Each structure stands twice: as C-alpha cells, then as structure tokens.
Amino acid sequence: MLLQIASIGLLADRLLTEEFDAVRLWEQPDAWLTRHGAEVELVATSVRAGCGPEMLAALPRLRAISSWGVGHETLDVAGARARGIGVATTPEVLDDCVADLAWGLLMAVARRIPAADRHVRAGEWTEVGRFPLSTKVSGKRLGVLGLGRIGAAIARRGEGFAMEVRYHGRGPKPGVAHGFEPSLRELAAWCDFLVVACEGGPATRHLVSAEVLEALGPGGILVNIARGSVVDQAALIAALEAGRLGGAGLDVLENEPGAPLALRRCDNVVLTPHVGSATHETREAMERLVVDNLRAFRRDGTLLTPVRA
Ligand code: 8YV
C-alpha cells in the first residue's frame, strides 16, 4: 500500500491515486495509522510534511519514501537507512529556478529594484536622478556557502557576470575551478555578495553567525535561498539595524511562514515567501519526479534520485 502523508500538488495527487491507489492520510480518521500502518510499503510526502522517526516507527513494513523537495531535514534519513528503507527527494529539477531566484534577490538588493519601484509607484519620481545610487553587481566577488547542485548553478551564473567565485563547504570539491575557502568568516571577508545554498538541519544551524555577518560588512550583501536556520536571524537583524551589513535578500527565514517586523521595516532587505522552486515548470517537474521515483521502485526496487548523504 502507498500512504500519502500530505497533498503534493494537483498532478502528483492525481497520479498517485490513479496509479498507486494512494491512501491520503489527511483524509483518514486519527486511528488509521495504528490500524493500518503495518500495510504501508511506500510513502509519498513533502519536505514540508516530512516523515520523521515517529512516522517510521508506525510503518514497520515500509520500503521506500519519495519526498517532494530537495531538502531532507524533515525526513528521518538515518533511521530509514538503518532499516534499509530507500529515501528519494527531487534534486536537479529545481536547481535553475532556485539559482535564478538567488540572482534575482542579489540584483534586487544591490540595485535596489523594489525600493526604486516603490519610489516610482509612490509618485516620488518628480526629478530625474534623485533616487539614491545603488551597488554595482558585475565584476564583483561572489561567495557561495554550499557548492552542491544549486550552489554550483549560482556560481555558474556568477561567471556570466564576470565575477570571481569562491566557496565554503564541508571540503573542497574535486574538479571545481572556483577557490575553496576553509573558513566561512574569511569567505565573508573576501566577498561582496555571500549566497547561502547549503543544506538545512542541525549541522548547518547558525553557520552564518554574527562574526560572519561582521566580516561581510557594511558593503556586503547576504542572500539566502537555502534554509532560514542557517542564518542567525537575531544577529542578522542587529547587523542590519546598526548599518553593519549592506543588505539582505531572503527567500527563507527562521520560523516560517511570516517575517518579523524588524526585517519588514528594513529598506535594504528584499523578502520573498520561500518561492525558490515555485515556477509552473519546476513544480510540475518536482511532482513528476515524486511519482517517477515510486514507479521505478515498484518496477525494480530502485529509486531514481535517492538521498546519498
Ligand atoms: C520548496 C524547498 O519551495 O525543495 C526544497 O527543499 O525548500 C523548496 O523547493 C519549499 O519546500 C516550499 O515550502
């Protein structure tokens, strides 16, 4: 039996019902898991809904989990691995859109596009050249935290903007031309723009600390399209309020959904509501991949895009 933990999207929901006769957990009575958990062999879920240790414990015959989204911090990957349960996410198909949004935020903050738009809309464009100057983007230094698939897509775009790119992560990546910086603080001190593209979860919590923000400095811009947990948000707000950071473009925040007033008040901050992968094209590809992983597993016991970490 396939158990669907949460709605994934119109397309995936329909295919899962048609092809797998999926049981929708949210439509079942509370006692359903206790009564039927032992019949479940496949799970479809999302990074939002997750599949944690409690859920795993309730599904003793589970063989595979297919999850919507590339993040897996809400899935008990270690617990699944210990029981030989395969876990698949939806990588690659969203790399371009998330990287595009990172660049959109970088450009928006550096060139003050939303502020300029507000200026025009408010009827304040009464004199040519009155809007404050902004920050040049091309030819600057780009630091990437986490050179995975999305980080690499962000770095590639940097080459198009004639930027020198360096990165920080767990270690240097073989075959990568960009310089590896073993200290995130040093990377922040070196670059003009620091883009956060690493995984979420406890291992990366508050990596972007007060010291890192201090190193990025009043001329620096922080962009986060990864997870709010990676940035010490209180330190970020303090740095922005004190003028110790040039600006920030944030698609993700701690305690989503919603943004604290302190961030909403900052004119040099651009906020988007966790929409990195949210285009028609990418969301359709993610939904299809959730189903394709389950089809492959049913066919020959393999997953197309298993989590390897
Ligand atoms: C989603 C994501 O936009 O893939 C992920 O891990 O974070 C995004 O693709 C997000 O989960 C929406 O809530």
Residue of the nearest CA to atom 12 in ligand 1?
274
pLDDT for 260-308, tens place per residue? 999 999 999 999 999 999 999 999 999 999 999 999 999 999 999 999 8
Return the pLDDT at 129.
Answer: 79
Report whether 265 contacts 239 (CB < 8 A). Answer: no
With the most atoms of ligand 1 within 8 angstroms of its CB, the residue from 8, 45, 47, 97 to mutate is: 47
Q: In this structure, are strands 179-180 and 2-4 parallel, antiparallel, or unpaired?
A: unpaired
| Ligand 1 pocket residue status of 91, Cβ below 6 Å | no
277 CA from centroid of ligand 1 (Å) = 6
201 CA from centroid of ligand 1 (Å) = 14
Atom of ligand 1 minimally distant from the CA of 256: 13
| Ligand 1 pocket residue status of 274, Cβ below 6 Å | yes
Could you tell me the pLDDT band of residue 309, with boundaries at 50, 70 and 90? low
Report whether 306 contacts 281 (CB < 8 A). Answer: no
| Ligand 1 pocket residue status of 104, Cβ below 6 Å | no
Return the pLDDT at 308.
Answer: 83
Q: Just list the catalytic residues.
A: 227, 256, 274
243 CA from centroid of ligand 1 (Å) = 31
| Ligand 1 pocket residue status of 71, Cβ below 6 Å | yes
pLDDT for 188-230, tens place per residue? 999 999 999 999 999 999 999 999 999 999 999 999 999 999 9
Q: Is 2-91+280-300's fold the same as 95-271's?
A: yes
| Ligand 1 pocket residue status of 89, Cβ below 6 Å | no
With the most atoms of ligand 1 within 8 angstroms of its CB, the residue from 77, 94, 224, 272 to mutate is: 94
* The domain over range 2-91+280-300 is classified in CATH as 3.40.50.720: yes
Buried b (16+ CB within 10 A) or exposed e, 254-272: beeeebeeebeebebbbbb
Helix (H, G, I), strand (E, B) or coil at 235: helix
Helices (H), 191-279: 210-216, 233-241, 261-264
The ipTM is 0.93
| Ligand 1 pocket residue status of 69, Cβ below 6 Å | yes
Helix (H, G, I), strand (E, B) or coil at 152: helix
Instruction: Give me the DSSP letters along 66-123.
Output: EEESS--TTB-HHHHHHTT-EEE---STTHHHHHHHHHHHHHHHHTTHHHHHHHHHTT
| Ligand 1 pocket residue status of 194, Cβ below 6 Å | no
Q: Burial-class residue 120 by CB neighbours within 10 Å (0-12, 13-18, 19+).
A: exposed
Query: Among 7, 10, 53, which residue's Cα sits nearest to residue 26?
Result: 7
pLDDT for 68-84, tens place per residue? 999 999 999 999 999 99
pLDDT for 129-175, tens place per residue? 789 999 999 999 999 999 999 999 999 999 999 999 999 999 999 99
d(CA 291, CA 138): 41
Give the dihedral sign, CA 64/70/72/74. negative
226 CA from centroid of ligand 1 (Å) = 9
- The domain locations on the chain are 2-91+280-300, 95-271
d(CA 155, CA 164): 9
56 CA from centroid of ligand 1 (Å) = 22
Q: Burial-class residue 188 by CB neighbours within 10 Å (0-12, 13-18, 19+).
A: buried
d(CA 216, CA 190): 8
In the numeric block, the tokens 């990864």 are attached to 226
Domain at 95-271: CATH code: 3.40.50.720
In the numeric block, the tokens 């360096």 are attached to 166
Q: Burial-class residue 9 by CB neighbours within 10 Å (0-12, 13-18, 19+).
A: middle
pLDDT, mean of residues 218-243? 98
Which H or E element spans position 231?
A: none
Which H or E element spans position 280?
A: helix 280-300
